[in-house]
Chains A and B, each alone.
Chain A
Amino acid sequence: MIEVKNLVKRYGNHTAVDDLSFTVDKGQILGFLGPNGAGKSTTMNIITGYISATEGTVTVNGVDVFEEPEEVKKMIGYLPEFPPLYPDLTVLEYLNFVADIKKVKRSLRKQMVEEVMEATKITDMRNRLIKHLSKGYKQRVGLAQAIMGYPELIILDEPTVGLDPKQIIEIRELIRELSKNHTVILSSHIMQEVSAVCDSVMIIDKGKLILQDKPENLSMHFGSTGGLKLVIRGDKDSIMKELGKIDRITKYEENEALEEGTINVTVYCKEDDDIREEVFYSMSKNKTPILEMQSIRMSLEDIFLKVTQDNSSTDSSNAESEEADNNRKQPEGIISSKGEEEDSNAGDL
């Protein structure tokens, strides 16, 4: 549906987008992931025809953005980084205006405005002036604007900024809903958002494409270090002795215990080696029950940090980055239990 080829955007000596190529299929949700200033917004602005590219081509449904911008603009709904709102209009007036300039048929207009307001849950605010709305509501009005006219391609630049957790979940659901009939590109610097919603993730840094894959496959690119985090009840020495008997464990380290009468221990094994069952039976035989067991895998945060760091310091030695990796893995449990729902559920098992 969208084909981006060798896209380059330069501002004077600064290269904002550097030889970016990718394709998005119909009905996909593509996530742009990258630190601030990575070139996400610039790329989106180029696809929507707001700014031009220095080099390269963008085609949407086979139509070139640079040659027939108006044809392409008909197919795109865009929520930029700052929602383009007129503060002196009411929500309803604004959406009517948007429907007007997006050339929604007059007969469909009224119903479509209602539907869009319903979908973004702003119906109650219809008669408020936009300048009186909170940040979250403004964001939702911006989103309503982007889906107005149900364009084939919806581009959202950081759609959940400024929303509360409940709204974020609602917006994610809305985006999933939209992807049934639309192609969606969204950008974010929040990993959990991308992994929760997207079919495909692109990591961009300094205008370069670093990686594109499904969110669940991303960790494969880096070979997860095998390991388990365990909370075990029982006598420390006997547990350690028993763990020491398992040959497949290459290394173990004790962490600070959080509950009385238990110990927290992290055990490491070779990559792609599954030692969970062996550890379970061994502890079961020892009558020291495992209360919690959690695989250490690279979270999207780790991958993201690793990738963007590698990119910025390619000459850093392996040992250094490995050490940095381990350091980063420590707080993983904290992040996942706070953040991503799926992850924390898996962790608590």
Chain B
Amino acid sequence: MLAIYKKELRSYFTSMIGYVFIALFLAIIGIFFYNNNLLTRSANFEHTIANVSFIFVLLVPLLTMRIMAEENKQKTDQLLLTSPVSATDIVMGKFLAVFTILFMVIAIISTYPLIMTRYGQVPFASSYASIVGFLLLGASYLAMGLFLSSLTESQVVAAVITFIVFFFTLFMDGLASSISTTNKTAFIFFTALILILCFILWIMMHNLTVSLGVGIIGEVILTYIYMNKPTLLDGAVVKMFGWLSATARFNNFYMGIFNLADIIYYLSITFIFLFLSTQVIKKKRWS
């Protein structure tokens, strides 16, 4: 794992990507810091952080687009997968490398509230809570980007898909509020979701029995709930969208609240996508 971590980290700094990422990140945050804190003489650094959470949507694809896709393209995955390293080692090494780059940026940002103490009182709790939340949010975006990159051979495709998916997470909140909360909507929505799931299963496995089986079982359960306990489905779609929204939970950090549930939420998103990436690598062997 350490070998892959070192190589990956170095490759970000032998090519321009690492520097570009850090420079753009700091420049964007710098502009918002200037506008929100310096210009308005506000000591609340969390305002800056809250304003720039869109930054990941723009910059994380830059960092993660090549991370796995390039290995697939250059066939270097063949070296990694025929060496005595596990899929977990590969994914963790790569994730930690991009996380380190993000951490460098966050470390620099962490000094900003300290700088402001020279000019007055700074609310440290909310400032640093938001920075920690920001880091966790970033980690989950990195994991998502890594996963999406492992699905393709092309950096461009990886970048575009990552960008679209991130964009979607950003507007999940807005979407959720505009959806009706009746249980009928939920029934239709989940039916569509089951159909999509069946379709994906069929594409991946080419096994009609499995995908139809999953579809029928899912639909039976859904119909049962809809017929007997329709209240369970009230507002379920909105809840699900809220749950999927990576930024919604960020608001607690912004208020200076360390909620264990929020921390676990981000960590589990990160974990799930890293786990899925290892599965993609392992699956390659069985295709």
Q: What residues make up the interface of A, taking CB atoms closer than 8 Å to B? A: 12, 45, 48-52, 70, 73-74, 76, 78, 80, 82, 84-89, 93, 97-98, 100-103, 145
Chain B residues positioned under 8 Å from A103 (CB to CB) = 84
Known: A49-B285, A50-B81, A86-B11. 11 other contacts (CB 8 A): A76-B82, A78-B79, A80-B75, A82-B75, A88-B14, A93-B7, A97-B6, A100-B7, A101-B84, A101-B85, A102-B84
Q: How far is the CB of B94 from chain A (nearest CB, A)?
A: 13
A-B Cβ contacts below 8 A, count: 74
Given known A-B contacts A84-B75, A86-B76, A97-B7, A70 and B84 have beta carbons under 8 A apart: yes
Q: How far is the CB of B202 from chain A (nearest CB, A)?
A: 14
Bound: A45/B84 CA distance, A: 15
> Would you mind naming 21 contact pairs between A and B with Cβ atoms under 8 Å apart?
A12-B206, A45-B78, A50-B285, A51-B285, A52-B285, A78-B82, A80-B79, A84-B75, A84-B80, A86-B11, A86-B74, A86-B76, A87-B74, A89-B7, A89-B11, A93-B7, A97-B7, A100-B7, A101-B3, A101-B80, A101-B85
Bound-state Cα–Cα, A1 to B287, Å: 27
Chain B interface residues toward A at CB < 8 A = 2-4, 6-7, 10-11, 14-15, 74-86, 206, 284-287
Chain A residues in 8 Å Cβ range of B285: 49-52
A88 adjacent to B11 (CB under 8 Å)? yes
CB of A146, distance to nearest CB on chain B (Å): 10
Cβ of B81: which chain A residues have Cβ within 8 Å of it? 49-50
Provide the residues of chain B in CB contact with A82, threshold 8 Å.
75, 78
Bound state CA distance, A52 and B7, in angstroms? 28
B286–A52 touching, CB < 8 Å: yes
Q: Quick check: A101 and B4 within 8 Å, CB to CB?
A: yes
A98-B78 Cα distance, complex, nearest whole Å: 12
Contact B79 A84 (CB under 8 A): yes
Roughly how many angstroms separate A78 CA and B83 CA in the complex, as a whole number? 9
Q: Which residue of A lies closest to B284 (CB)?
A: A51
- Residues of chain B within 8 A of A70, CB atoms compared: 84, 86
Interface pair B4/A73, CB less than 8 Å apart: no
Give Cα A88–Cα B286 distance, bound, in whole angstroms. Answer: 30
Closest 3 CB pairs of A and B: A100-B3, A84-B79, A84-B76
Q: Are A88 and B15 in contact (CB under 8 A)?
A: yes
B79 contacts across to A, CB distance below 8 A: 78, 80, 84, 98, 101, 145
Contact A85/B76 with A49-B285, A50-B81, A100-B3 known, Cβ cut-off 8 Å? yes
| CA distance in complex: A102, B80 (Å) | 9
Distance from B198 Cβ to chain A, minimum over Cβ atoms (Å): 20
Chain B: which residue is nearest A103 at the CB level?
A: B84
Q: Report Cα–Cα, A84/B80, bound state, in Å.
A: 9
Point out the residues of chain B lying under 8 angstroms from A88, CB to CB.
11, 14-15
- Chain B residues, Cβ within 8 Å of A89: 7, 11, 14
Task: Please tell me if the beta carbons of A97 and B3 are within 8 angstroms of each other in the complex.
Answer: yes
Nearest CB in chain A to that of B206: its residue? A12
Min C-beta distance of B219 to chain A, whole Å: 29
Q: Is chain B's interface secondary structure helix, strand, loop, or mixed overall?
A: helix
Shortest Cβ distance from residue A97 to the other chain B in the assembled complex, whole angstroms: 5
Residues of chain A with a CB closer than 8 A to B80's CB: 84, 101
Contact A50 B7 (CB under 8 A): no
Across the interface, which residues of B come within 8 angstroms of A84, CB to CB?
A: 74-80
- A87 CA to B76 CA in the complex, in Å? 10
**Closest A residue to B287 using CB positions:** A51
A337–B222 alpha-carbon span in the complex (Å):
77
Identity of the chain B residue whose Cβ is nearest the Cβ of A74 in the assembled complex:
B84
CB distance from A156 to the nearest CB of B (A): 13
A73: contacting residue among B14, B15, B82, CB under 8 A: B82
Docked pose: A11 CA to B161 CA in angstroms: 28
From residue B142, how far is it (CB to closest CB) to chain A in Å? 21
Q: Which residue of A lies closest to B3 (CB)?
A: A100
Chain A residues with Cβ below 8 Å from B284 are 51
Shortest CB distance A16–B (Å): 12
Whole-angstrom CA separation of A49 from B78 in the bound complex: 10
Write out the residue numbers on chain A whose beta carbons fall within 8 Å of the beta carbon of B83: 73, 98, 101-102
| Most chain A Cβ neighbours within 10 Å, of B15, B74, B206, B287 | B74
CA distance A93 to B110 in the complex (A): 34
User: What residue in chain A is nearest B76 (Cβ atoms)?
Assistant: A84
CA distance A45 to B83 in the complex (A): 12
A7, chain B: closest CB distance, angstroms: 15
Residues from chain A with a CB closer than 8 A to the CB of B10 are 93
- Please measure, in the bound complex, the distance between the C-alpha atom of A50 and the C-alpha atom of B87, giving whole angstroms: 12
Q: Which residues of B contact A12 (CB under 8 A)?
A: 206
B74 near A85 with CB under 8 A, answer yes
For B1, the closest partner residue in chain A by CB is: A101
- Whole-angstrom distance from the CB of B107 to the nearest CB of chain A? 26
B7–A73 contact, CB under 8 A? no
Considering the complex, give the chain B residue whose CB is closest to the CB of A46: B285
- Residues of B within 8 Å of A101, CB to CB, are 3-4, 79-80, 83-85
User: What residues on A are CB-neighbors of B82 within 8 Å?
Assistant: 48-50, 73, 76, 78, 80
Closest Cβ–Cβ distance, residue B278 to chain A (whole Å): 14
CB neighbours of A98 from chain B (8 A): 79, 83
- Least CB distance from B44 to A in Å reads 42
A102 contact set on B, CB distance < 8 A: 83-84
Taken together as a complex, chains A and B put the C-alpha atoms of A88 and B3 apart, in Å, by 16
In the bound complex, residues from chain B placing their C-beta under 8 Å from that of A87 are 74
CB of B110, distance to nearest CB on chain A (Å): 31
CB distance from A340 to the nearest CB of B (A): 32
Residues on A with beta carbons closer than 8 Å to the beta carbon of B6: 97, 100
* Most A CB within 10 A of own CB, among B6, B11, B83: B83
Residues of B within 8 A of A76 (CB): 82
Whether A50 pairs with B78 at a CB distance below 8 angstroms is: yes
